[in-house]
Structure 1
Amino acid sequence: MGLCQRWRRLRLPGLQTCRLHTAAVPAPPQWLAERLGLFEELWAAQVKKLASVAQKEHRTIKISLPGGQRVDAVAWSTTPYQLAQQISSTLADTAVAAQVNGELYDLERPLETDSDLRFLTFSSAEGKAVFWHSSTHVLGAAAEQLLGAVLCRGPSTECGFYHDFFLGKERTVRGSELPALERICQELAAAAQPFRRLEASQDQLRQLFKDNPFKLRLIEEKVTGPTAIVYGCGMLVDLCRGPHLRHTGQIGGLKLLTAEYTRRGFSEVKTPILFSTKLWEVSGHWEHYQEDMFALQPPDSDRLSSSLSDHATSHPADTLALKPMNCPAHCLMFAHRPRSWRELPLRLADFGALHRAEASGSLGGLTRLRCFQQDDAHIFCAPDQLETEIQGCLDFLRSVYTVLGFSFRLALSTRPSSFLGEPCLWDQAEQVLQRALEEFGEPWELNPGDGAFYGPKIDVHLRDALGRPHQCGTIQLDFQLPLRFDLQYKGQAGAPERPVVIHRAVLGSVERMLGVLAESCGGKWPLWLSPFQVVVIPVGTEQEEYAREAQRRLQAAGLVCDLDADSGLTLSRRVRRAQLAHYNFQFVVGQKEQSKRTVNIRTRDNCQLGERDLTEAVQRLQELQNTRVPNAERVF
């Protein structure tokens, strides 16, 4: 069975009450029952062995606790959880794992020697990883029981987890199966199934997972010692280093969100997908993490779009956050807990997908779409911070457009006839924007009455290669959202004050910006944006291996590099083909270059840069890409 088959990736958020669906759970597959039976045999033998060791040694060990306290414990008997109970019931309830002499440790795993013991709660990065990784086992158990899934990987991510598993070449999870799968996840969590840690030999591992080719491959590649760790939880038995929660009851309620498939096998998608109520309610972390209810999704994987996105979010003050709902979502994030004047300005950015009900006749290429991405940002600041923040937005906008090679025109749009709010606030806001524009030093014009109903704005206009104008970036002041969402922060004097919101987009619609760039570049993309950066061309078959080495070196440096070893074409034809495809650079390697470990470099405009050392050439291209120069071919 190949690894690059279809997978199901399931994402689970929480904090939503889910209705239980009745559905018959099929009898577990034979291989699952056999695996569980073997695990129980091995577990019983381990318990017996540990009890014998504890009885034989029966020695006291010294445990150092946080705060300098030292207590006695019994080797192979006392657990971190028992010590947490002695300290306080609150700690026992909120601890998710322990750290013993710097090693992550299960709370129910007996201590063995004198130890420096620390407890991990959900407030720590390690604690979150334990909590979320334990939750993947719940999903894996449900998928095995209901679907007969063959499990692969279920890692935690920075803000959640996912689980990959295999159902067959063409099998996918049907929508009608999700409620039943969700019900089983909830039942497993409610059952408070303990996580049991088993140390197994390589032969035992291979026997446990004889029906799972993915685990067998992991055992072959990753298990280098005589033993490895397996965890049992209910009917689930999985290869895992741990540690885990004491039992599934600490997880709370789960709800399935989405399922999708990929052919990439052991792929990693770092997406926040799990949110669970119980632990947060007990430990008081829910309010602090409510903002994580929104998930960060990367933009389209296309090189052009992702390069633009990376460039437009490189402002050091921006906090990348969250998938769409844009203005209301960011307001909810601001309001989810009390704020202080010390937190301002608070900057949130979003590259989420947006939808507009555009009339079909108004749609056009990439410049106007019904679904698009926008580098949407909102800055919550105090009134006396407005001018500085606007100036920062303008500086950021200029730096981005300079790299993209665009000149731009600015317009100040003032109060429309259908405005909301007090005229005095509008006057104040327009004066702030005007002062910022004057200090910015670029030409601007007044656009009376064209502001948004909630506040004045600065619009940014570009022209493409055909002379067509496009509104891309915008900077808007908003006094209405803070009122409507009752946003407040504690001022320096202690009294509640209301922030001002700045809406900021630099690229505007990413798709529209790509369209304008495409017209402007005419297919000759700058190196840092180009989908065709370098092609290596061997003169003859004797140089093909060296050419492949050069290709690997370039790819390892993060450059897009292809190889043209087509022996059916002459060297000049292959060079010409690369230039017509607009590869920024062609690296030609012949016998001389191979012997000297050099490359002969040409540009897409047939400028011959001559022979260069391979290592130096790779480093130079990497430098030119990282600095986003617009004319890498000329300054190489």
Structure 2
Amino acid sequence: MMEQEQNHQKIGQELQLFTTLEEAPGMPFFLPKGMVIRNELESLWKSLHQQNGYEEIRTPIMMKQHIWEQSGHWDHYHENMFFSQVDQHSYALKPMSCPGAVLLYNQKRRSYKELPVRYAELGLVHRYEQSGSLNGLLRVRSFTQDDAHLFVRLDQIEEELANVIKLVEQVYSHFGFDYHVELSTRPPNSMGSDEQWSLAERALESVLKAKTIDYQLNPGDGAFYGPKIDFHLKDSKGRSWQCGTIQLDFQMPEKFNCSYIDSENQQQTPILIHRAIYGAIERFMAVLIEHYEGAFPYWLAPVQVVLLPIHESHLDYAQSVQETLKAAGVRVELEKPDQSFKARIRKAKKEKVPYLFIIGNNEKDSASVSVQDRAQNQLNQTVVDFLAQRQEDSLS
């Protein structure tokens, strides 16, 4: 297990993706190349959420302690929280984003016609973890959850759950992950009535059966406010990682007096679906580093192309190719002929760059490039042809 856990840190250091420092234990620092990966993950997330009818929000990372008492986190989670005093008031750094989403929902009077309300948030959260358990990006104290909170009517639960599962499948398809599903039921330390828990568990089970998804029952491992569906990804080494989760919650809307007016002009309480797909950006990145062993697919790679002019006389043409690629949005680096050609080839391969463009006399004279991919397949083509092929790949 330790070898597995150290691996993403070793690769992350070699590829200059992130670092951890004693000045902020459990709070990783992201280097420029690591930020490329983060930004690509967030861009994919935002695009798919917009397509699926979500509205993006942002809520404060710190709120007054009474909010966490009202939500139930104080009773069930306070040992994992950070607290502070500001203006003689007790505050807590948020360990989860749900109370903030609930407060936003309550900012206006709601009609049944408005539901479902789908709020999505890349929320920075903080949780206290023992110093001995901290591990790179896998176990941290500060991380970004790809949260969503859906306020739904009783008659919308199953349709919205099915739509969430569809979105989970859309996201994971970009990485080629297989996964298995677990359904976790009421834990001993929980809130709410037997009737609410029974209804929520039946709804989750019904959706899984309707979508013919095989699942494993995990009794007593639900969240304190509701049962959940967890998605366990299988990486290239056959290891399992719990990432995505869908949780059905009758408790928090009641605790915060959330309401909407139904078709009979009566006040009703919505049901809350909590949901994350990556789980946490940091942990998901660790899984990807392990899964790809640092050899990221083209769309996710921090550097997508390295240009290798063989001699100084090829540098002007290589720079013009670099400008063309940059204008097309390609992340490209130019390795000038300050070192031997073999040394520059070794460096690019060690950095696991998807494509090398080798430029010599033939390429300069024919306005082409010699392209080598990570599998060492080689072909000569124009830059225009290369860009067209990458565009075709991204659409397939």
Task: Give TM class, smaller chain.
Answer: 0.7 to 0.9
Q: Give the aligned residue type for 1:310.
A: S
- CA drift of 1:595 comes to 2.8
Q: Which residue of 2 aligns with 1:10?
A: none
Q: Which residue of 1 aligns with 2:125?
A: 354
- Tell whether 2:54 aligns with 1:318: yes
- CA drift of 1:567 comes to 4.4
Q: Which residue of 2 aligns with 1:577?
A: 347
- Going from structure 1 to structure 2, the CA distance change for 1:526 and 1:541 (only over 3 Å counts) comes to same
- The alignment partner of 2:275 has SS state of strand
- The alignment partner of 1:415 has SS state of coil
- Tell whether 2:324 aligns with 1:591: no
Q: Which residue of 2 aligns with 1:620?
A: 389
- The alignment partner of 2:178 has SS state of coil
Count of aligned positions: 327
- Distance in 1 (CA, whole Å) between partners of 2:282 and 2:187 is 29
Q: Which residue of 2 aligns with 1:557?
A: 328
Q: Give the aligned residue type for 2:44.
A: H
Q: Deviations over 1:27-78 (max 9, x none)?
A: xxxxxxxxxxxxxxxxxxxxxxxxxxxxxxxxxxxxxxxxxxxxxxxxxxxx
- Going from structure 1 to structure 2, the CA distance change for 1:300 and 1:373 (only over 3 Å counts) comes to farther
Q: Which residue of 1 aligns with 2:70?
A: none
Please tell me whether the aligned partners of residues 312 and 337 of structure 2 are also in contact (alpha carbons under 8 angstroms). no
The counterpart of 1:410, out of the listed 172, 181, 185, is 181
Identity among equivalent positions (%) equals 37
- Distance in 2 (CA, whole Å) between partners of 1:311 and 1:509 is 14
- The alignment partner of 1:387 has SS state of helix
- With the length of structure 1 as denominator, give the TM-score of the two structures: 0.49
Q: Which residue of 2 aligns with 1:376?
A: 147
- Tell whether 2:39 aligns with 1:306: yes
Q: Deviations over 1:89-126 (max 9, x none)?
A: xxxxxxxxxxxxxxxxxxxxxxxxxxxxxxxxxxxxxx
The counterpart of 1:611, out of the listed 352, 372, 380, is 380
- Distance in 1 (CA, whole Å) between partners of 2:253 and 2:245 is 19
- The alignment partner of 2:232 has SS state of strand
Q: Which residue of 1 aligns with 2:72?
A: none
Q: Which residue of 2 aligns with 1:634?
A: none
- CA drift of 1:549 comes to 1.1
Q: Which residue of 1 aligns with 2:115?
A: 344
Q: Which residue of 1 aligns with 2:8?
A: none
The counterpart of 1:495, out of the listed 257, 266, 269, is 266
- Distance in 1 (CA, whole Å) between partners of 2:377 and 2:347 is 15
- Distance in 2 (CA, whole Å) between partners of 1:500 and 1:412 is 19
Q: Which residue of 1 aligns with 2:4?
A: none
Q: Deviations over 1:524-553 (max 9, x none)?
A: 111111112101112322221111111111
- Distance in 1 (CA, whole Å) between partners of 2:237 and 2:127 is 26
Please tell me whether the aligned partners of residues 344 and 380 of structure 1 are also in contact (alpha carbons under 8 angstroms). yes
- The alignment partner of 1:374 has SS state of strand
The counterpart of 1:504, out of the listed 248, 269, 275, is 275
- CA drift of 1:418 comes to 3.0
- The alignment partner of 1:386 has SS state of helix
- Going from structure 1 to structure 2, the CA distance change for 1:300 and 1:567 (only over 3 Å counts) comes to closer
Pick which of 322-331 and 511-520 moved more: 322-331
Q: Give the aligned residue type for 1:389.
A: E
- CA drift of 1:477 comes to 0.4
- Distance in 2 (CA, whole Å) between partners of 1:424 and 1:359 is 37
- CA drift of 1:468 comes to 4.7
- The alignment partner of 1:347 has SS state of strand
- Distance in 2 (CA, whole Å) between partners of 1:615 and 1:349 is 38
- Tell whether 2:203 aligns with 1:424: no
Q: Give the aligned residue type for 2:345.
A: V
Please tell me whether the aligned partners of residues 158 and 203 of structure 2 are also in contact (alpha carbons under 8 angstroms). yes
Q: Give the aligned residue type for 1:335.
A: N
- CA drift of 1:390 comes to 0.5
Q: Which residue of 2 aligns with 1:293?
A: none
Q: Give the aligned residue type for 1:493.
A: E
- Distance in 1 (CA, whole Å) between partners of 2:217 and 2:359 is 58
Q: Which residue of 2 aligns with 1:194?
A: none
- The alignment partner of 1:376 has SS state of strand
- Distance in 2 (CA, whole Å) between partners of 1:483 and 1:537 is 63
- Distance in 1 (CA, whole Å) between partners of 2:305 and 2:160 is 40
Please tell me whether the aligned partners of residues 580 and 604 of structure 1 are also in contact (alpha carbons under 8 angstroms). no
Please tell me whether the aligned partners of residues 354 and 373 of structure 1 are also in contact (alpha carbons under 8 angstroms). yes
- Distance in 2 (CA, whole Å) between partners of 1:543 and 1:462 is 46
Q: Which residue of 1 aligns with 2:68?
A: none
- The alignment partner of 1:470 has SS state of strand
Q: Deviations over 1:193-234 (max 9, x none)?
A: xxxxxxxxxxxxxxxxxxxxxxxxxxxxxxxxxxxxxxxxxx
- CA drift of 1:419 comes to 2.7
The counterpart of 1:522, out of the listed 293, 305, 327, is 293
- CA drift of 1:573 comes to 4.2
Please tell me whether the aligned partners of residues 579 and 603 of structure 1 are also in contact (alpha carbons under 8 angstroms). no
Q: Give the aligned residue type for 1:583.
A: V
Please tell me whether the aligned partners of residues 309 and 337 of structure 2 are also in contact (alpha carbons under 8 angstroms). no
Please tell me whether the aligned partners of residues 377 and 505 of structure 1 are also in contact (alpha carbons under 8 angstroms). yes
- The alignment partner of 2:174 has SS state of helix
Q: Which has more radius of gyration?
A: 1
CA RMSD of superposed structures (Å): 1.9
Q: Which residue of 2 aligns with 1:460?
A: 231
- Tell whether 2:317 aligns with 1:546: yes
Task: Name the structure, 1 or 2, with higher relative contact order (CA <8 Å, separation 6+).
Answer: 2
- Distance in 2 (CA, whole Å) between partners of 1:336 and 1:573 is 61
- The alignment partner of 1:601 has SS state of strand
Q: Mind listing any 5+ residue stretches in structure 1 that lack a counterpart?
A: 1-298, 630-636
Please tell me whether the aligned partners of residues 578 and 604 of structure 1 are also in contact (alpha carbons under 8 angstroms). no
Q: Which residue of 2 aligns with 1:445?
A: 216
Please tell me whether the aligned partners of residues 381 and 501 of structure 1 are also in contact (alpha carbons under 8 angstroms). yes
Structure 1's consecutive aligned runs of 4 or more residues displaced over 6 angstroms after TM superposition are none
Please tell me whether the aligned partners of residues 177 and 235 of structure 2 are also in contact (alpha carbons under 8 angstroms). no
- CA drift of 1:434 comes to 0.7
Correspondence list, 1:623-634, <5 A: 623-624=392-393, 626-627=394-395
